[in-house]
Chain A
Amino acid sequence: MSPRLILLRFLRRWHARIGFAAVLFFLILAVTGFVLNHGSDLGLDAKYVHTAWLARWYGLKAEPPRQVFRSEHHDLVAANGRWLFDGRLSGEKFPQPVGLVELTDMVVVASDTALYVYREDGELIDRLERGALPGVPVHAIGSSARKLVLRTASGTFAGADALSWQPVPRQRVVWSTPAELSAAERQAYEEALEPGISVQQLLLDLHSGRFAGRYGPLVVDLLAVLLAVLSLSGAWLFLKPRHRRERH
């Protein structure tokens, strides 16, 4: 048997073996790469996966909810950057709330640097940040004579519509204060407020191999080498017999 034929058989055999062994990984790379390429159109960065095992895998320490802010008709529990406002999840990357106040036709939640103004049904009316506030950080939020009151580093201010503010004395203000959650409530809210990983991040980590830890990228590097070997051996297998036929 000629050395060329031996090489051809060797390449054919190993081309098939490598292709079969890596088929699952190549499919993962192809699918994650394809989806990531359209990540913005699919809104992947705004979608989150919330599962306890995934959070543990990423080393995210779940912070159990401990307190609840309650007004006459509304409640707010927060943990892990997520808010559960009247049982409705508000999204991700939310700050720790300072308090909640219910006024006529609106509910206002304060963090130390922003106010979130909601309609009675939980629709966000407005988010006011540092420039629209009378002072930051906001230390406390309360109400007095149907007005919203903020206690800030620059003083205490009141406003009826959360747009214009006047300094007021601190007396006769009902401040929003948190209440402790019972053990049963804490357990129920803990599940709902699991920390999440964005789908975009998850796909990026799967694609780069980082999902598998520090050696994952090395495995992906090896796959890249195998893909190069497959391409070259495939090209050689495709071209070589043809060359021989052309010579005859």
Chain B
Amino acid sequence: MPSRLRYGFSILAVALALSAAGLARGESYQEPEAFLAEVFGSKPAPKVFWLTKEIQAEASAILGHPPAQLRQRYWSDGRKSVWILEEMGKDELITAGFVVADARIDHVRVLVYRESRGGEVRRPSFLKQFHHARLAPGTRLDRDIDGIVGATLSVGAMERMARLALYFDRKSREQ
């Protein structure tokens, strides 16, 4: 076999192996620490937001299921707060970082996407829909988020997390 062809096959084999490994463990696009450093310049100490019975009930209404844990870590410099949340897409958890400033979403980043399909939710063209979104009455977003064909459940998960981040931000400022 000519060496150029062998070289091509080797590259293809490595690419396939890497993509298979990526699918198996989920695609990690940015480590939470890197996301925090990008937002704040350095990683601040985490703060803790406790989910009281009332907050658990509202979070359940937003998510459609009870929240997984009783305390939520977040990071804040007073004006901006960062919430790194996880929610089930179709079969796997999606990890996303939400930056909230002045009760509006400043920006969103998908940090880990573990589903085999629907990864379009990490694209900036989709995520920019959340820019400046805020909570309307009834803890809904003040706008409709356009869906993506083949990623309906991931889009739903992103929207629920956005609402939860805004709700947590509001309640954390009241506490």
Q: Which residues of chain A are within 8 angstroms of B31 by Cβ–Cβ distance?
A: 131
Inter-chain contact A124/B91, CB cutoff 8 Å: no
Asked if A225 is at the interface (CB within 8 A of a chain B CB), the reply is: no
Asked if A164 is at the interface (CB within 8 A of a chain B CB), the reply is: yes
| 0/1 interface trace, chain B 20-33, chain A, CB 8 Å (1 if under) | 00000000000111
| B1-54 residues at the A interface, CB under 8 angstroms | 31-33, 45-46, 48
Q: Which residues of chain B are within 8 angstroms of A40 by Cβ–Cβ distance?
A: 90, 153
Inter-chain contact B90/A125, CB cutoff 8 Å: no
With A40-B90, A40-B153, A131-B31 as contacts: A119 and B70 at CB distance below 8 Å:
yes
Question: Which of B33, B45, B69 is within 8 Å of A126, CB to CB?
Answer: B69
The B contact surface, by secondary structure, is loop
Q: How many residues on B have C-beta within 8 angstroms of the other chain's C-beta atoms? A: 15
Q: How far is the CA of A127 from the CA of B73 in the complex (A)?
A: 10
B38 to chain A, nearest CB (A): 14
Inter-chain contact A163/B91, CB cutoff 8 Å: no
Inter-chain contact A131/B33, CB cutoff 8 Å: yes
| 0/1 interface trace, chain A 140-183, chain B, CB 8 Å (1 if under) | 00000000000000000000010110000000000000000000
Asked if B131 is at the interface (CB within 8 A of a chain A CB), the reply is: no
Q: How far is the CA of A134 from the CA of B31 in the complex (A)?
A: 15
Q: Which residues of chain B are within 8 angstroms of A63 by Cβ–Cβ distance?
A: none
Asked if A191 is at the interface (CB within 8 A of a chain B CB), the reply is: no
Q: How far is the CA of A23 from the CA of B31 in the complex (A)?
A: 53
| 0/1 interface trace, chain B 95-119, chain A, CB 8 Å (1 if under) | 0000000000000000000000000
Asked if A123 is at the interface (CB within 8 A of a chain B CB), the reply is: yes
The list of the 4 closest CB pairs from A to B, nearest first, reads: A131-B32, A125-B70, A124-B69, A126-B71
Sampled A-B contacts (6; CB under 8 Å): A119-B70, A125-B70, A126-B73, A131-B33, A163-B73, A200-B91
Q: Using a CB–CB distance below 8 Å, which chain A residues touch chain B?
A: 40, 43, 45, 119, 123-127, 131-132, 161, 163-164, 200
